[in-house]
Chains A and B, each alone.
Chain A
Amino acid sequence: MGNKQTIFTSQQLDAYQDCTYFTRKEILRLFHRYRDLAPQLVPLDYKNQPEVRLPYELIGSMPELKDNPFRQRIAEVFSEDGEGNMTLDDFLDMFSVLSEMAPRDLKAYYAFKIYDFNNDDFICKSDLEKTLNKLTRNELTEDEVRMVCEKVIDEADLDNDGRLSLEDFQHMIMRAPDFLSTFHIRI
């Protein structure tokens, strides 16, 4: 509120505040969380916008993400290079979308991208199988996996093209109001 901080210029902080759902205090706190992952790589002075990119292994070792079955996909979706190596901007963006203030449509969009393993803008059967394997791992047989995926496509595919588009997914989310509170990572 009147803190003199030397990490960002005030224009940078304004830009962060305008483009994410965080307040100044939270942005600084998140910066320190980011820095704690690799203090030797992340400088304390971001005024000249250094190009610092933390590798996926460090991001995936955060306590909020380390046991999440989708941590790799989350990091890939939010990182600029698509491989999971995140800059500070990507990091803030990720937690902003996953915070409780993000609206449902934005969360649905990113959830769709996370479940779309082959990045073709559709959730096809193989994507569903991969999702199911990440969520249950060895408890379902091959047959059951196949039947569950077929059932999902039957129920959710509205335009009958055999795969889920973003609109099908959003339509399903509209009817599942818990989604807003479950697609949420606290930091």
Chain B
Amino acid sequence: MEEQKYQQIIVPPAWYWLVKPVTRTTGHKDKRRYSPLVPCILQLYHNFLVPPVRQIYDQNSRMRRMSVFPQHGTALGNLGRTANEIRQEAEHSKSELVSDLVNLSAGARFQAIRSLPMSFNERKTVRNRVNSVKLSKTVLAADCRQQVSRSFRRFRASLASARQHLIIWQDTLKEIGGRFGTSVLSYFLFLKWLLQFNLFSFIINFCFITIPQIVHAPNISSTTGFRGLELLTGVGYFNQTVLFYGGYNGEEIVSKPVYNMQLAYFFTIAAYLVLCWVSLIYSMSRSFQKNFVLETGPVSGGAWRLLCSWDFSVVNEKAIQYNKNNLAIQLKESLSERLQEKNKMSLSDRIKHLSLHLLAWLLSLGLAIGSGAGIYFLGTDPELAFSFSHNPNNLRAEASTLLLPVVVSLINLIVPLLYSLISKIESYSNPRAKIYISIIRNVILKMSILGILCFYWLNFVPNSISCWESFVGQSVYRLLIIDFIFCLLGIFFGEFLRNVIGTMCIQSLGVPEFDIARNVLDLIYAQTLAWIGIYFSPLLPVMQVLKLFILFYLKKISLSLNCQPPKHTGRAAQIQTVFIALLFFPSFVGVLSMVAFTVWSLEPSNQCGPFQGLKTPFHTIFNWTASIQNFPESNWVWWIFENILRSELFYYLISLIVLVITYFLWQITQGRKQLIKTLREQIVNEGKDKAFLLNKLQNLQKERREMASYRPQDFDQTPHFNPNWMNTLPLDM
């Protein structure tokens, strides 16, 4: 009888399953294996997917390594290994980590060190080791390069801390977030972001256009005395000032370098619009990347609500209690949904719902079209529209110019309330669908109003009034001011009075909730107006800055006094992305097309403004390129302009390339979705493997214990990890 050294079969520790490579050859002939398509798909998309997926995978494996070793090791993980071996393993993985980090670039290295999931001291030791390795690697002559990079980093850090001085309202935002949560805070952050746009616009307009104009003041033809009404209507005293287009002159200012006012006006506004475009696209894509997930799967009720939705930034005791109540109610609702049978709607019910939806949509669109038509007829009423320009000194005529803005603001106030009444007759299966549909309807209303106004300004006004750009600027000014006044009235009536009514008179209504969607859409509307007005009135952003500033404080006060935080706080991040997207399209794109149309095809007025005498404002550029054609060193600019920017072939080629790239990226997205699905199936299979092998291990250990009690001297007492463990498993599993 041969003594058989009984080799202990060790199941690899838990981490092994996650760190080993994805494609493994398996000896299992089990039927519950993945389809043969998986290796093909993995191979096909390997080249495109390796960089980002590998990063996540590496980081996860690093984190897993660091977290499971050694003090948190599970009993299974440390099974069969001595303390020495565990320590060695930890040391080995740490040195692997250090060598990983050393090979990264400086910026990526610091980001990686900061995001290591270990305690602070361990992170510091890793950082010190990485630094010493880097130091030992560099030659003495490259020491100055080290100095330079270190001082560059210090400079960047000091720049970041200097930027913090410029951050306003930090304490206020913290207080708002602490009491009302992050979704209400997002409104205020949006407001602050819009403020930055307007501030920047004001600074560059003031520096490049207004200051040269003020220094070389043009002849002001006639000034009426300052009457109080100018603040509201923008005419009269303000008419020929630098507030509006008409106050600017297109002459070349004779100074050391000749300063061409026409070019300055054109390029300043063009540069600002291009910067806005870039900034909006950047914010939109970053927000989209963070907040929209690739796989479509229901992120429903319980799990997400319990584990991911608790708002840690709320610090106010009452607000926390309120949130706890809300969470309990929502959990109960989701439980009762699960318990009830989802009652199938009969055909007649469905037809009824559909017809109600159709009716609601018809009503909403009808209201929007009706308001548009009303504004159009009011605007083109010849008496009303041009009475002021014909009698500039008539106070009554001046006041009548305020009629159109008041009507527009009234429509903006009342019709959304009608929309919310209309939506009460409909029934939605999904509360999010309700929010999105109401947002769409309001956007249609506001954009149709703005569209009608722009159509009126660009089609009828240039032919009827002498200095029409100033007229448009003044109209925009009036709209903005009246909108601000109505906003204040809205705060008073909508929030303060409603709170009083809700708490004292009709108890059932309760304290009003802060309606984020409506407020953000109002902000977007006002910002669209401000952007439209920049070409016609370069200093209009000042007004918008002042308005946003005052609005911030008023809304904050009204919030603390009158409102309560919203009950359904889910998916705030996705709605944020939708708002930024709405700011870009249709708002900014509409403005851009309007300004482009004005600059490209409309004839500027003859008596005033920087472009007087030209056929279109764009002819400035033609004149300029023609003038620099004569200089040999700037010939290339003319060449680029004439042959590339003015030829259509260039734009066709660019569009074609962009379309091809978009199609290509879309295909990659589809491939990744497929990969995610197969990886998910693989995780499920791994779980089953794990359970199976655990079972087997338990059985073997039971057998071993029984045999040990029978023949104790045959067994090797020191356990060791057999690296060929896979070969010891029987093949017929």
Contact = CB atoms under 8 A, between A and B. Distances in A.
B320 to A, nearest CB: 5
Interface in A52-78: 63-64, 66-70
B66 to A, nearest CB: 10
Nearest to B694: A161
Nearest to B74: A121
B313 A186 contact: yes
B347 interface: no
A151 B324 contact: no
B309 A155 contact: no
B110 interface: yes
A98 B312 CA distance: 9
A130 B408 CA distance: 55
Contacts of B572: 178, 181
A115 interface: yes
A45 interface: no
Given A15-B127, A161-B691, A152 B310 contact: no
A25 B165 CA distance: 10
Contact of A155 (B117, B300, B691): B300
A136 B331 contact: yes
A151 B303 contact: yes
B290 A180 contact: yes
B295 interface: yes
Contact of A175 (B178, B295, B309, B327): B295
B301 interface: yes
B178 A186 contact: yes
B123 A19 contact: yes
Given A25-B161, A159-B683, A119 B72 contact: yes
B67 A166 contact: yes
A89 B162 CA distance: 24
Contacts of A109: 63, 67, 117
Contacts of B293: 174-175, 177
Interface residues on A, range: 35 or more
Interface in B141-177: 157-158, 160-162, 164, 173-174, 177
A38 interface: no
B680 interface: yes
Contact of A23 (B157, B177, B331): B157
Interface in A65-105: 66-70, 80, 89-90, 92-93, 96, 98, 102-103, 105
B432 interface: no
A160 B694 CA distance: 14
A151 B690 contact: no
Contacts of B338: 151
A172 B303 CA distance: 8
A151 B303 CA distance: 7
30 contacts: A23-B160, A23-B164, A24-B161, A25-B161, A66-B315, A67-B316, A69-B310, A69-B320, A121-B72, A121-B74, A132-B331, A135-B327, A140-B328, A148-B302, A151-B302, A152-B306, A158-B683, A159-B686, A159-B688, A160-B684, A173-B308, A175-B299, A178-B572, A181-B182, A181-B313, A181-B572, A182-B182, A184-B313, A185-B313, A186-B178
Nearest to A106: B115
A178 B308 contact: yes
Interface in A31-56: none
Contacts of A67: 315-317, 320
B603 interface: no
B54 to A, nearest CB: 14
Contacts of A181: 182, 186, 313, 572-573
- Residue in A21, A103, A128, A181 whose Cβ sees the most chain B Cβ within 10 Å: A181
B64 interface: yes
B361 to A, nearest CB: 30
Contacts of B712: none
A103 to B, nearest CB: 5
Nearest to A159: B687
B18 interface: yes
B309 A176 contact: yes
Given A159-B684, A161-B690, 4 more contacts: A19-B123, A92-B120, A111-B307, A131-B307
B324 A156 contact: no
A110 interface: yes
Interface in A130-176: 131-132, 135-137, 139-140, 144, 147-148, 151-152, 155-156, 158-161, 166-167, 169-170, 172-176
Nearest to B159: A1
Interface in B51-79: 56, 59-60, 63-64, 67-68, 72, 74
A32 B92 CA distance: 39
Contacts of A132: 306, 331
B72 to A, nearest CB: 6
Contact of A19 (B127, B160, B178, B315): B127
Contacts of B570: 178
Interface in B280-313: 290-293, 295, 297, 299-304, 306-313
| Top 4 A-B residue pairs of the complex, sorted by shortest distance between their CB atoms | A159-B687, A139-B328, A151-B302, A89-B120
Given A80-B121, A151-B335, A177-B290, A23 B161 contact: yes
- Residue in A23, A121, A182 whose Cβ sees the most chain B Cβ within 10 Å: A182
Nearest to A140: B328
A56 to B, nearest CB: 17
A160 B335 contact: no
